[in-house]
Amino acid sequence: MRSIQVLKGNVVYAQKRTELTCVENGYIVTKNGVIEGVFKVLPGEYRGVRVEDYGDKLIIPSFCDMHLHAPQFAMLGMGMDLELIEWLNKYTFKTEARFADTAYARRVYRMFADALIKKGTTRVAVYSSVHRESTHVLMEELERAGVTGYVGKVNMDRNCSDDTRETTEESLLETRRFLEECKGRYKHLTPILTPRFTPSCSNELMAGLGKLQREYGVRVQSHLSENRQEVEWVKALHPDSEYYYETYEKYGLWIENTIMAHCVYSGERERAAMKEAGVVVAHCPDSNMNIASGFAPVRRMLEEGLNVVLGTDIAGGALLSMRDSATSAVRTSKIRWLLSDKKEDFLTVAEAFYLATSAGQAYFGAGPGFQAGDALHALVLDDSRLPETRPLTLEERLERLMYFSSDDTIAARYSEGELR
């Protein structure tokens, strides 16, 4: 019976994008950390099992941050008066170069992993730097803290700084070695191929990564159509490609479950290609505002049936909490709504909550919200110290807790069924 765990509280989750499921004073039963079910009344077979009673608190799925750069945690809040390319050259590459030093990496990644858990993020798709050894340091620290997901060693063999540039051969050899070393080494972390973006990867490197993808069957993450200057640059680098996405497609990197961050300037054709291939869009609204990239057409993407998830894009984004990413997505969509003469609907808070939880969960093979058979990833939210008001519905309380995103409203965190 020790493997059975029962949590009691107000269970709130999103089974569909447009609808919240609320189970007042409900129960989540897990066995060996895996969800057995969500119940209004505790089934008789669990009688006598100790209940972890969270009283009037909310229990929600923990958050999935589907695009962020771990080394950039060290430069969070810097260079925000620059646009992408200058920001990379003046701040980012300099910061990432320091991760050649594994002791420095240990210090920063320990703080980073602890901060993620504190903010309620238990699943990620994260970039490291070009350094293989420090990427393992990142994975060790994530695993220690209880953060699960995909981790990529970055590939760059051109258009970066001298101290971050790899030779093409070195980049491919180090990536192969990284993939080999990850075999059986981590419980809940998986390597993912991470060509930084087309400008920083030669055609030869892209082709080599495509080969590695086929050999190892690994997933891929990169950046796409984030900034106007970047899009023009890619056109100049690949005169044979009409669209940015083709620069990934021609090397076999535009495949099912490839995560493409931003997609602010992805037009109809590029978006159709995403749908066709099963490419996932990581929308990073706070980053898109900070480095003034633009406003991604998320409402359109959703209506077209694209798979959209959310990311903080630390440190283009400066907000580590996925609650802030979700509300930023709502705010950004309202700018598009206003600019479209109120024709392009904005996102509701419930939709943004779905994107920050269930949509991300799907990438890890989990069902939406709390589904039987999935490992428990959950947060217990406490609004008892927020200002008193009239009695609120669970929907209203969730909305307030999404906007009121201070850490002390998270009372407990579960990752892979374990209290963290």
- 92 vs 307, beta carbon nearer ligand GUN: 92
Q: Within 10 Å of residue 341's Cβ, how many Cβ atoms?
A: 7
How far is it, in rounded angstroms, from Cα 351 to Cα 312?
17
What does 364 bind: Fe ion, ligand GUN, none (CB cut-off 5 to 8 Å by kind)? none
Three-state DSSP class for residue 244: coil
Out of 69, 119, 123, 271, point to the residue binding ligand GUN (CB under 6 A).
69
- 127 vs 414, beta carbon nearer Fe ion: 127
- 98 vs 223, beta carbon nearer ligand GUN: 223
Residue 325: C-alpha distances to residues 173, 397, 408 (Å): 36, 18, 18
For residue 226, state whether it binds ligand GUN (rule: CB under 6 A): yes
What does 285 bind: Fe ion, ligand GUN, none (CB cut-off 5 to 8 Å by kind)? none
- 7 vs 261, beta carbon nearer Fe ion: 261
Helices (H), 168-284: 168-182, 203-216, 228-237, 246-249, 268-277
Cβ of residue 313: shortest distance to ligand GUN, in angstroms? 5
How far is it, in rounded angstroms, from Cα 181 to Cα 185?
7
For residue 157, state whether it binds ligand GUN (rule: CB under 6 A): no
How far is it, in rounded angstroms, from Cα 418 to Cα 414?
5
- 117 vs 314, beta carbon nearer Fe ion: 314
Residue nearest to ligand GUN as judged by C-beta position: 316
For residue 312, state whether it binds ligand GUN (rule: CB under 6 A): no
> For the chain, percent helix, then strand, then coil, each to nearest 5?
40, 25, 35
- 228 vs 420, beta carbon nearer ligand GUN: 228
Cβ of residue 118: shortest distance to Fe ion, in angstroms? 22
* Candidates 12-20, 194-202, 306-314, 388-396; binding stretch for Fe ion (CB under 5 A): 306-314
* Candidates 84-92, 109-117, 157-165, 174-182; binding stretch for ligand GUN (CB under 6 A): 84-92
Tokens 């050649």 belong to which residue?
Answer: 100
How large is the angle between the packed helices 132-145 and 168-182, nearest 10 degrees? 30
What does 136 bind: Fe ion, ligand GUN, none (CB cut-off 5 to 8 Å by kind)? none
- 5 vs 222, beta carbon nearer ligand GUN: 222
Is there a contact between 140 and 105 (Cβ–Cβ < 8 Å)? no
What does 84 bind: Fe ion, ligand GUN, none (CB cut-off 5 to 8 Å by kind)? ligand GUN
Q: How many residues bind Fe ion (CB under 5 A)?
A: 2
Mention every residue, 6+ apart, whose C-beta is less than 8 A from residue 47: none
What does 149 bind: ligand GUN, Fe ion, none (CB cut-off 5 to 8 Å by kind)? none
What does 210 bind: ligand GUN, Fe ion, none (CB cut-off 5 to 8 Å by kind)? none
Is there a contact between 63 and 118 (Cβ–Cβ < 8 Å)? no
For residue 313, state whether it binds Fe ion (rule: CB under 5 A): yes
Backbone φ and ψ for 255, nearest 5 degrees, come out as -135, 175
For residue 153, state whether it binds ligand GUN (rule: CB under 6 A): no
For residue 313, state whether it binds ligand GUN (rule: CB under 6 A): yes
- 311 vs 417, beta carbon nearer Fe ion: 311
- Here's the x/- map for ligand GUN, 178-197, by CB under 6 A: it reads as ------------------xx
Out of 84, 126, 172, 220, point to the residue binding ligand GUN (CB under 6 A).
84
Task: Produce one character per residue of 315-327: b if its CB has 16 or more CB atoms within 10 Å, e if not.
Answer: bbbbbbbbbbbbb
- 283 vs 377, beta carbon nearer ligand GUN: 283
What does 197 bind: Fe ion, ligand GUN, none (CB cut-off 5 to 8 Å by kind)? ligand GUN
Provide the token pair at 274: 């995403």
Task: Please write down the HEC assignment for all residues of 361-398.
Answer: HHHCCCCCCCCCCCECCEEEECCCCCCCCCCCCHHHHH
Residue nearest to Fe ion as judged by C-beta position: 313
Q: What is the DSSP string of 325-364?
A: HHHHHHHHHHHHHHHTTT-SPPPPHHHHHHIIIIIHHHHT
Q: Running DSSP on this structure, what letter comes out for residue 157?
A: -
Q: Which residues pair with 278 in a beta bridge?
A: none
The interface with ligand GUN within residues 232-291 (CB under 6 A) comprises 287
Q: Tell me which residues touch ligand GUN (CB under 6 A).
A: 69, 84, 88, 92, 196-197, 223, 226, 287, 313, 316
Q: Tell me which residues touch Fe ion (CB under 5 A).
A: 261, 313
